[in-house]
Amino acid sequence: MDKSKRKTIIAGNWKMNKTMSEALDLTNQIKPLTNGADCEVVLCVPFTNLETVINALKGTDIKVGAQNVHFEHSGAFTGEISVGMLKELGVQHVIVGHSERRQYFGETDETVNKRAKSALQGNLMPIICVGELLWEREAGITEEVLSRQLKLSLAGIPDNDITKVIIAYEPVWAIGTGKTATSEQAEQACKFIRLCIEKLYKNELADSLSILYGGSMNASNAEQLLAKEDVDGGLIGGASLKALDFGEIVKAASIIV
Ligand code: 13P
């Protein structure tokens, strides 16, 4: 295993926060704090803010992502957004299978798989989220859950596409709770995820895949989490809404790179 082979990625997930004018403000604050960082920075913003944020970030290295995408190209899917719609705006990444989508909007491993495949076909990089619930951790079945989620979410994705996939390990009990996984727990899970990828794909592909940790990552715990061998970055919720905190996390990742 060689961490230096992998891209370090810090992605902000703004969730359902920020109106268009607020998004512009936040982007303009984040820009000078993160542009030119030694890691990849991605802002995953609400659909309504994509165009504004993309325009505000023109001429920088900061990438913009969406938080969901539908798997069909077009049709009678009221309220949904297609890969083509995102691509035309200049979106490069999309979060797929976030636990909040699974919990509140009926997302399943099967639909995660369909969305991921559709994103890859359209040249969008999916950030596929996996992670166990509290009772699953307490019942000692974390690895079983991760292995099932990965196998099903990645079904039918060929070798040449897995290089464009990013995995985010987000233990559900750590999301928005202020209860961060310890760096050891994060490392153990991310290492296990890499082992699962190794079983499904060639070793060198598993070795070059970026695996992010998400769940109450903040400016004070980022460095410790990001220093771990198999933690290649972070998917940040709450702290990505505060420019200074997000900037500190990006700085912590850049030191590690
Ligand atoms: P918090 O950082 O707010 O815990 O959210 C994590 C997350 O869900 C990122 O996708």
Domains and CATH numbers, the chain: 20-256 (3.20.20.70)
Is the Cβ–Cβ distance between 73 and 45 less than 8 Å? no
Q: Which residues contact 13 (CB under 8 A, 6 or more apart)?
A: 44, 67, 95, 98, 214, 235, 236, 237, 240
Q: Give the pLDDT score at 142.
A: 98
Alpha-carbon span 211 to 154, nearest angstrom: 14
What residue type is 237 in one-letter code?
A: G
> Quick check: 230 pLDDT over 80?
yes
Backbone angles phi, psi at 63, to 5 degrees: -100, 160
Question: Given ligand 1 and candidates 9, 15, 100, 127, which is best to mutate, with the most ligand atoms within 8 Å of its CB?
Answer: 15
CA dist list (Å): 143 to 150, 161, 206, 218, 237: 10, 24, 17, 25, 24
Adjacent-strand bridge partners of 211: 167
- Picking from 136, 71, 68, the residue whose alpha carbon sits closest to that of residue 97 is 68
Instruction: Report percent pLDDT > 70 for the chain.
Output: 99
Catalytic residue at 170?
yes
pLDDT, tens digit, 9 for 90 and up, residues 172-208: 999 988 888 999 999 999 999 999 999 999 888 999 9
- What residue type is 242 in one-letter code? K
pLDDT tens digits, one per residue of 114-162 = 999 999 999 999 999 999 999 999 999 999 999 999 999 999 999 999 9
Strands (E), the chain: 9-13, 40-44, 63-66, 93-96, 125-130, 166-169, 211-213, 233-236
SS3 72: coil
Q: Do the beta carbons of residue 150 and residue 131 sit within 8 Å? A: no
What letter represents residue 130's amino acid? V
The reported pLDDT for the residue numbered 1 is 62
Task: Provide mean pLDDT across the span 24-36.
Answer: 95
**C-alpha of residue 156 to centroid of ligand 1, in Å:** 28
Residue 9, ligand 1, Cβ within 6 A: no
Nearest atom (ligand 1) to Cα of 100: 8
Mean pLDDT score across all residues of the chain = 96
pLDDT tens, position by position, 73-128: 999 999 999 999 999 999 999 999 999 999 999 999 999 999 999 999 999 999 99
How much is the average pLDDT of 47-63? 97
Which of 32, 215, 180 lies closest to 41 in space, CA to CA? 32
Q: In 3D, which of 59, 47, 55, 60 has the Cα closest to residue 18?
A: 47
Indicate which atom in ligand 1 lies nearest the CA of residue 98.
Answer: 10
List of residues 6+ apart from 36 with CB closer than 8 A: 61
Residue 257 in this model has a pLDDT that exceeds 70 = no
Catalytic site residue 93? Answer: no
Phi, psi of 110 (to 5 degrees): -65, -45
pTM, full prediction: 0.97
Rounded distance from Cα 75 to ligand 1 centre (Å): 32
Q: How far apart are CA 37 and CA 255, in angstroms?
A: 9
Q: Among residues 40, 170, 187, 248, which one is catalytic? A: 170
Q: For residue 75, what is the DSSP state?
A: S
β-bridge partners, 44: 13, 65
